[in-house]
Structure 1
Amino acid sequence: MAPLGLALGEGALWLERDAFGGPAFWCVDILGCRIWRFDPATDTALSWAAPAMPGFVAPLPDGCFVAGLPDGLHRFDPRDGSFSLICTVEADRPGNRLNDAHVDSRGRLWFGSMNLAETAPTGALYLAEGLVAGAPVPRRVDDGYVVTNGPATSPDGAVLYHADSAHQVIYAFDRHDDGRLEGRRVFVRLDQGYPDGLAVDVEGHVWAGIWAGGRVMRFAPDGRVSAVQTIPVDNVTKLAFGGPDRRTAWVTTARKGSSAPLAGGIFTFPLDVPGLAQNILA
């Protein structure tokens, strides 16, 4: 456990090699406006101030990241801490911010937006392509969310999973090669807690951090619960598959809304089944 004290930890990802030589665990503290790197080999952490709330970071081939800030997508260089705007997103929805993302096997960025007040269905799901080449134009592929979370894809890429956390539901979509989504359906609906960030393992099971639930849950492709891991914190947000064999879960949590002594820490636990590798933007 790494006691980072994150106000709202999110965006968990594991890189086998990063700008500092890696491997390392990366995440964001949305409310703390910081990006974090934790090196398990030395048990040390680095962090960088972000100019506004970072919803996620997604890795680029050169060691930099695409960071989702409230006004759009930015290039973040951890070597000097600089941020530069790539493109604006949702200039017409000033009551929103970006929240959570996923890089698919083709190097495309799937990301969501959410309502800052967490009351109105003004959030949406987006797809951005060609981030390495130049100026992307994010495409809105689904709409009407209050709090979007965790886009993730099945091992074969045919299914995309996405949560509307406020409504306690994870949706599944049929995903086409060109990025089109069809057949939105309820994959999982929770009675207790709220599904937050998502990740998929090599067997196609979906892992979800459960906000106000103190646990991580694993769901089979048919939606049944296949495993539950308790975490000693109320608000569990997301996990990444780390370690040399991707058999260690790295879990982000939040101090927001929690009185648990360990809230805001990073937790780990072993896995029987490895997760899918972190993809790099193309």
Structure 2
Amino acid sequence: MSGQSPKPVWELEAELGEGPVWVERDQALWFVDIKKQQIHRYDPEAGAKQSWKSPEQVGFILPTAGGGFVAGLQSGLYRFDQGSSAFELIVEVEPDLPDNRLNDGVVDPAGRLWFGTMDNAEKAKTGAFYCFHEGRLKRTGLDGIAITNGPAISPDGGLLYFVDTLKGTIGIAEIRDDGSLGEPRPFARIDPADGYPDGPTIDSNGYVWISLYAGWGARRYAPSGELVDSVRFPVANITKIAFGGADLRTAFATTARQLLSPEKIAKQPLIGALFEFRVNVPGVPCPLARL
């Protein structure tokens, strides 16, 4: 599984690379640089690379039913049209908390968009998880978190995994038919000495991949919570993995160089690059968000 070393495919020096997602209709990987306010597209077949500027910090970009994308900007959810580069507000999120921003997001098989907010200074426990579906924004009850990450959804759409990065915990909750969540319970915990859990991703066997910030790698956990594998990177801050390519067996990983001194960057010059490596178990196609 972890025999192949990740290699850089786009050395773009991302300040805070995040949110990679393989868009099937596009056969391309989309991701963001939150701090540089950029959206990126990488077509591995053609080697093509494109970028767009966002008007605010952008936490994620996900494809929507009917074309186009939904972008999680600092102030809320926006429609994004890559042809015109236009952003159109769908709904404000937490207008009463201007120091918060949207971070990570995912779409479940029913087309519901799940995402988290967080304190932009990464200290106050003002973050929460939300669900948006067909025009309705709902709080999930998962809140009081400084840095939210994920969530991630099991392949059958029945389980939601969510990360409290500073606590080092990954939790799990059942998704009921009406989109509400069951009682959350612990899934796994990562010792701060091993890094901080960042974005989670789930493969087609239901195994959970956790990226490690300040941990030089990524881990793969069985549905039972048992650690079964890990992948070592040549850089410290891995933020999230997405599975793509024609067979969904190419793992792409975003990384970040924010807050690192020039000396530390010099010791890991590839930090901030987009990486790829091959895996045995494919990912799950990204569902389309039904706004």
- After TM superposition, the score normalised by the length of structure 1 is 0.94
1:97 is aligned to 2:101: yes
Instruction: Please name the residue that 1:78 is paired with.
Output: 82
Contact 1:235 1:257 in 2 (8 A): no
Structure 1 segments unaligned to the other structure (5+ residues):
131-135
RMSD: 1.0
Match of 1:114 in 2: 118
Following TM superposition, by how much is the alpha carbon of 1:120 offset from its aligned partner in structure 2, in angstroms? 1.2
Q: 2: distance between equivalents of 1:81 and 1:151?
A: 27
1:250 is matched with: 252
Which string of whole-angstrom CA distances, capped at 9 and with x for unpartnered residues, describes residues 31-88 of structure 1? Answer: 0100000111221210000000001011113331111111111111001111111110
Q: Deviations over 1:103-156 (max 9, x none)?
A: 0001110000001111111000000001xxxxx231110211110001111122
Equivalent residue number for residue 133 of structure 1: none
CA distance in 1, matches of 2:12, 2:67: 23
Q: In the alignment, what sits opposite 1:28?
A: 32
Equivalent residue, structure 2, for 1:217: 219
Separation in structure 2 between the aligned mates of residue 95 and residue 66 of structure 1, nearest angstrom? 22
SS in 1 for 2:166: helix
Task: Give a deviation string over 1:1-41, Cα, whole Å, max 9, x none.
Answer: 21121110001100122xxxx31110000001000001112
Residue number among 188, 199, 221 corresponding to 2:201 in the alignment: 199
Q: Following superposition of structure 1 onto structure 2, how do residues 40-189 of structure 1 map, counting pairs within 5 Å?
A: 40-130=44-134, 136-141=135-140, 142-189=142-189
| 2:231 counterpart SS class | strand
Greater relative contact order (CA < 8 Å, ≥ 6 in sequence): 2
* Equivalence for 1:239: 241
State the percentage of identical aligned residues.
46
Displacement after TM superposition at 1:158 (Å):
1.8
Q: State which drifts further: 46-55 or 165-174.
A: 165-174
> Following the alignment from structure 1 to structure 2, what is the Cα–Cα distance between the partners of residues 40 and 62?
24
State the one-letter code of the partner of 1:242: G
The one-letter code of the counterpart of 1:216 is A
Is the Cα contact below 8 Å between 2:160 and 2:175 reproduced in 1? yes
Number of aligned residues? 273
Distance 1:257 1:251 in 2: 19
Q: What residue number does 1:274 align with?
A: 282
Letter aligned with residue 144 of structure 2? G
- Mapped partners of 1:129, 1:63: distance in 2: 16
The range that moved more, 257-266 or 192-201, is 257-266
**Secondary structure class of the residue paired with 2:183:** strand
Q: What SS does the corresponding residue of 1:55 show, helix, strand or coil?
A: strand
TM-score (norm 2): 0.92
- Distance, in Å, in 1 between the alignment partners of 2:158 and 2:45 is 36
Aligned to 1:15: 23
Q: For 1:71 and 1:10, how far apart are their aligned partners in 2?
A: 18
Q: Does the Cα contact within 8 Å between 2:22 and 2:243 map onto a contact in 1? A: yes
